[in-house]
Amino acid sequence: MAGTTPRTDVLPAEWWERLGARLIEALVFGVFYYILFIALWGFFRTVGMAEVFGGRLPGVFAWLVAGLAYAGYDWWAHSRRGRTFGKAIMKIRLAPEGLSSRVLLRRTIVYPAPVMLMGIPVVNLVAGMLLFGVGLLILMDKPLERGPHDRAAGTRVVKDLR
């Protein structure tokens, strides 16, 4: 219909808004990872296990815990408010609203949960390619710009101009 204003819940978020939201969250969880890494390194050194797996054990554990915490936060935030703090800062959110926790868990398992594998040597290459692939698929999916995690849950990331 000519002359009507489009509804804001159908305007997909731009790729850079989504990337910005993830980068903001990555900064916060990166700090959490380094604090956890230092604590685990001290613990493993104290118990004489600092050199297990060539000294990589603290990093692997820290990445797994931080990745699991991030995936859990992603699921919880989307279940509770329909957006994470990064999405809130970038003024974007998930649509439709009111999705079940089970549907949102499916979204989280597809992405970002596999990113927690990036701390494991060699597996991190596959996880990095997965992360890169998710970004490419979002860019290629026109006009909705949905990633595989959005498709698995039937969601879209949209502008939140309310």
Q: Which amino acid makes up residue 105?
A: L
The pTM assigned to this predicted structure is: 0.84
Residue 96 has a pLDDT of: 92
Whole-angstrom distance between the N-terminal and C-terminal Cα of the chain?
22
Q: What gap in Å lies between CA 145 and CA 139, rounded to an integer?
A: 6
Predicted confidence at residue 7, as pLDDT, reads 52
Tens digit of pLDDT at every position of the chain (162 positions): 444 444 544 799 999 999 999 999 999 999 999 999 999 888 888 887 767 767 778 888 888 999 999 999 999 999 999 999 999 999 999 999 999 999 999 999 999 888 888 888 888 888 888 889 998 999 999 888 999 999 999 999 999 887
Measured CA to CA, the distance from residue 143 to residue 161 in angstroms comes to 19
Structure confidence at residue 75 (pLDDT): 96
**CA 16 to chain CA centroid, nearest Å:** 15
Distance of CA 65 to the CA centre of its chain: 14
Report whether 126 contacts 117 (CB < 8 A).
yes
Query: Phi and psi at residue 156, in whole multiples of 5°?
Result: -140, 155
β-strands 92-95, 156-159: how paired? antiparallel
pLDDT confidence of residue 71: 94
